[in-house]
Amino acid sequence: MSEAVVTLKKGEGRSFKAGSLWIFDNEIDTIMGTFKNGDVVLVHDFDGYVLGRGFINQNSKIRVRMMTRNKEQLIDRAFLQQRVRAAWQYRKDTVDTSSCRVIFGEADFLPGIVIDKYEDVLVVESLALGIDRFKETIVELLKDELFADGIKIRGVYERSDAKEREKEGLLKVKGFIGEPFDTNVEIVENGVHYMVDVVNGQKTGFFLDQKYNRLAMQRICKGKRVLDCFTHMGTFALNAGIAGASEVTGLDISEYAIAQATANARLNHLEDTVHFRCANVLDELPKLAAEGEQYDVVILDPPAFTKSREATKNAIKGYREINMKGLKLVKDGGYLATCSCSHFMTQELLAKTVKEAAKATHKRLRQVEFRTQSPDHPILWAADESYYLKFYIFQVVEEK
């Protein structure tokens, strides 16, 4: 264990002291002792009070990712086993574990690593240097925990190919951890079957965070004409179809996504009801409005319009525009589901933006419910970055 000591400036470390796991470069006064990037260091407050231990990386603005507040705690196999066991137990308590996020980085007190379970396959995303050194140990420990519950993992694939790794001085990595296996995995969620491509799909292959939001839409979509925008693999569209929607159209700009969605419709025997086409949603919605199209339900699940605080102003314009276009296609008394998956687009900002879109289109909104990400993506209070998905369902009423 490194003997290096990081000392904070007076008055700094407020977010960490409130519950976060990050120490930023501008919060640090001195670093004493020898270390290599990725080593465990001891963190002191300005007055010498020991705050805990974490991984240091001078390539990153997040200079230290804290692992424990216990100054005596070794970051060893037994420690990692306790963290992994607690993460798995939490999923068993809170969600359907057939396919779920088993480890969610900072929110599971294992900063910088994400592991998703798709039936009997694990997909790993490692984003920080310190935890990267332990990823194979963490995978091994998780496989042991699952096996103890009768779940045998047939393969592990790494999708550490996000740009965030570059901020840590890490190369992008993509490939098998252990023996190769068939990376097309069939999963079942909310009664809907999907074929997940863990090699080429978005992120780790599938967006598990909307699981229960998709389920919530099943109630509303029965017997309805539905438009699913930014459909990706057809997830909301297929939930609408399996719930008994009369007609569903899914739109996405990616030909690969549309091909996957169409295959998933066939997999669920919904090809007569649920149809997909490749289109730029921002261009397609005005065309549909000009043609006089109207839908009972419109679902807007766009990609993050901002991944930085600085770009939030332009993102607000994007969310306002897409919601205005979507609202124009909803029948009087119909429903709009709209969301943001950007951490920087707060609940308050999204609500304000949708309210402005409704005013501009002379619509009145009655909130059905507000939802966030699935519980297997837990929101750690004081770690703001763990809260990113906001999901509204509204009834849309004409102004009369």
Give 275-285 pLDDT, tens digit per residue. Answer: 999 999 999 99
Give the pLDDT score at 309.
67
CA distance 218 to 171: 41
Residue 222: CB atoms within 10 A of its CB come to 11
Give the pLDDT score at 253.
96
Amino acid making up residue 253: I
What's the token pair of residue 5? 């000591």
Q: Identify the DSSP state of 226.
A: E
The SS3 of residue 309 is coil
The number of helices, as runs of H, and strands, as runs of E, in the chain is 11, 20
Write down the domain spans for the chain. 5-68, 77-183, 207-398
**Across 348-370, average pLDDT:** 96
Specify the fold of 5-68.
2.30.130
Give the pLDDT score at 44.
97
- Give me the residues paired with residue 189 across strands: 192
Choice among 100, 221, 339, 341 that is catalytic: 341
**String of DSSP letters for 13-52:** -HHHHTT--EEEGGGEEEEES---TT-EEEEE-TTS-EEE
What's the token pair of residue 232? 């990706």
Q: Does 221 or 201 have the greater pLDDT score?
A: 221
CA distance 329 to 224: 14
**Across 94-122, average pLDDT:** 97
CATH code that applies to domain 207-398: 3.40.50.150
CA distance 363 to 289: 15
Q: Which residues contact 388 (CB under 8 A, 6 or more apart)?
A: 341, 342, 343, 373
Amino acid making up residue 4: A
Instruction: Please say if 229 is a catalytic residue.
Output: no
CA distance 397 to 45: 55
Give the pLDDT band (50/70/90) at residue 172: very high
**What is the share, in percent, of the chain residues with pLDDT greater than 90?**
90
pLDDT at 267 > cutoff 80: yes
pTM passes above 0.75: yes
Give the pLDDT score at 289.
97
Domain 77-183 in this protein, CATH class:
alpha beta
**Across 242-250, average pLDDT:** 98
Using an 8 Å Cβ cutoff, are 54 and 67 in contact?
Answer: yes
| C-alpha pair distances (Å), 38 with each of 63, 66, 245, 252, 335 | 10, 12, 52, 40, 49
Give the pLDDT score at 165.
92
The SS3 of residue 398 is strand
pLDDT at 308 > cutoff 70: no
Give the pLDDT score at 384.
87
pLDDT at 270 > cutoff 70: yes
Using an 8 Å Cβ cutoff, are 303 and 230 in contact?
Answer: yes
Residue with tokens 């607000």: 316
* Through-space distance between the first and last CA atoms of the chain, rounded to whole angstroms: 70
* Side-chain-facing half-sphere of 349: CA atoms under 13 Å: 19
Give the pLDDT score at 193.
98
What's the token pair of residue 64? 């230290």
The kind and range of the H/E element at 308 are: none
Give the pLDDT score at 3.
78
**Across 164-193, average pLDDT:** 95
Q: Angle at which helices 255-267 and 235-242 pack, to 10 degrees?
A: 20
Give the pLDDT score at 237.
98
pLDDT in tens, 116-162: 999 999 999 999 999 999 999 999 999 999 999 999 999 999 999 99
What's the token pair of residue 329? 């296609």
CA distance 274 to 143: 37
The SS3 of residue 113 is strand
**Across 31-53, average pLDDT:** 96
Backbone angles phi, psi at 32, to 5 degrees: -110, 135
Using an 8 Å Cβ cutoff, are 365 and 298 in contact?
Answer: no
Please give the mean pLDDT across all residues of the chain: 95
Q: Does 42 or 203 have the greater pLDDT score?
A: 42
